[in-house]
Structure 1
Amino acid sequence: MSDNGLIKLLPDMLKAFYETLYMCGVSLILAIIIGIPLGILLFISDRGLFAENRFVNMVLGVLSNVVRSIPFLILLVLLLPFTQWILGTTIGPSAAAVPLSVAAIPFYARLVEASLREVSKGVIEAAVAAGARPWLIIREVLLPEAKSGIISGLTITAVSLLGFSAMAGTVGGGGIGDLAIRFGYYRYDNQVLFTTVILLIALVQIIQFLGDWAARKVDKR
């Protein structure tokens, strides 16, 4: 494709760029809203913690591991009936946001849990000894101490979602992946493929830079 061809394709590229941001943004917001509480629950319900509950911990852990163990393309296909039931369609960025969210929530929850495990046990024990209630310990001790790791985990999740969204494009999810398949792969146009790859690389670099900057700003160490 010539430069003129790329210019003609510019509206489609802008649309694909917006669709990618939309589906990743929706999934990331849901991952924050559900993934952080889930990660906290996984942590505080573990053995030796102030809200120990082995049954809850085991159930949540198994569910998280099951979802994370399924390759995203397979998960996307498995969730097609669920997506159809919720939205009435399986095509487009909104439909793609459903499996993206399902994949992102347990992934981010485990990263949140890992960040909380970095918090000094002594700090937690001191708060428990002082008679602080569980919610107060979570709000005033765990989250502030693990803030940097939680932000770093969010950055990793965002980058992963970007890759997943490109896969969603192969089955009509829209976005940059869909553009690469329709205009690049099917038409044997390497210039379009390279352009979409460069766009994805640029997005990853921006996300990583902003995430690293934010993590450094809140890091107490």
Structure 2
Amino acid sequence: MMELGVPFSKIVLAAQQTIYMVSISLAIGSVLAMMMAMTLVLTNDNGILKNKYVYTVLNTVINIIRSIPFIILMVFILPLTKEIVGTRVGTTAALVPLVVFIAPYLTRLFENSILEVDKGIVEAAQAMGASYFEIVWYFLLPEAYGSLILSVTIGTIGLIGATAMAGAIGAGGVGDLALTYGYERLNFPLMLFTVIVLIIFVQIIQSFGNYFSSKVRNH
């Protein structure tokens, strides 16, 4: 690895930081996204808990956040990041903008996945006297499970790209390695190596996502 101009330990650390940022922000973002997506599905004009005010406000907030490029969003919410984690830079600090970025993104993907469920299933559940919670837990989510897995897969890949941009605020990770030791020092071999590493990450994640989604759909 010496021809890359960086000690192997730094490369391993960068990979660990990327995995840390992606996994933590994805976990938190997925929970928030599922709550928001379900709220949108249940309160829309055809929802079983129709509420125009709740739907309009939440839908507008999601659209506003999604319209802001991540690099701008990351800088814009630096004061919020400081309040939450106590610092504006570093791997942990990057989690705040990453969650704010991925939650609305996943919300739209989850919303579409749930809306694909046959309305007849919800009507049948209501006819059987199922509560709102039972309709969501036992009917909507199981039917959308395969599509939801693909949504998480897409979101994970989007997060990998975002963590690379997070290197601009010293977040660490593969992106920071490419910027600090690759771009700034005109180290083309290192930049090429980081691109290959990111491609491998994406390929592995997409393959796992496709496999589990297919397995669930064919179950």
| TM-score (norm: length of structure 2) | 0.97
1:64-115 alpha-carbon deviations (Å, 9 max, x no partner):
1111110000000001010011111111110011100001111111111100
Output the amino acid matched with 2:154: I
Kept in 2: contact 1:96–1:168 (CA 8 A): yes
Which residue of structure 1 lines up, in the alignment, with residue 31 of structure 2?
A: 33
Q: Does 1:43 align with 2:4?
A: no
Alpha-carbon distance in structure 1 between the residues aligned to 2:3 and 2:85 = 35
Structure 2: stretches of 5+ with no match in the other structure:
none
Output the amino acid matched with 1:136: E
Which residue of structure 1 lines up, in the alignment, with residue 184 of structure 2?
A: 186
Q: How many residues align?
A: 219
Which residue of structure 2 lines up, in the alignment, with residue 134 of structure 1?
A: 132
Identical positions, percent: 40
Kept in 1: contact 2:4–2:187 (CA 8 A): no
Which residue of structure 2 lines up, in the alignment, with residue 120 of structure 1?
A: 118
Pairwise CA RMSD of aligned residues? Answer: 1.2
Which residue of structure 2 lines up, in the alignment, with residue 99 of structure 1?
A: 97
Structure 1: stretches of 5+ with no match in the other structure:
none
Q: Structure 1 pair 56/178, CA: closer, same or farther in 2 (3 Å)? A: same
Alpha-carbon distance in structure 2 between the residues aligned to 1:189 and 1:49 = 54
Alignment of 1:192-207 (within 5 A): 192-207=190-205
Alpha-carbon distance in structure 1 between the residues aligned to 2:126 and 2:69 = 40
Alpha-carbon distance in structure 2 between the residues aligned to 1:185 and 1:110 = 34
Q: Does 1:166 align with 2:164?
A: yes
Q: Does 1:73 align with 2:75?
A: no
Displacement of 1:7 in angstroms is 7.6
Alpha-carbon distance in structure 2 between the residues aligned to 1:180 and 1:170 = 10
Kept in 2: contact 1:50–1:128 (CA 8 A): no
| TM-score (norm: length of structure 1) | 0.96
Q: Structure 1 pair 44/220, CA: closer, same or farther in 2 (3 Å)? A: farther
Alpha-carbon distance in structure 2 between the residues aligned to 1:132 and 1:8 = 60
Displacement of 1:220 in angstroms is 4.6
Give the SS at the match of 2:89.
Answer: coil
Alpha-carbon distance in structure 1 between the residues aligned to 2:142 and 2:68 = 32
Alpha-carbon distance in structure 1 between the residues aligned to 2:60 and 2:25 = 22
Which residue of structure 1 lines up, in the alignment, with residue 151 of structure 2?
A: 153
Alpha-carbon distance in structure 2 between the residues aligned to 1:88 and 1:182 = 24
Kept in 2: contact 1:108–1:153 (CA 8 A): yes
Output the amino acid matched with 1:126: A
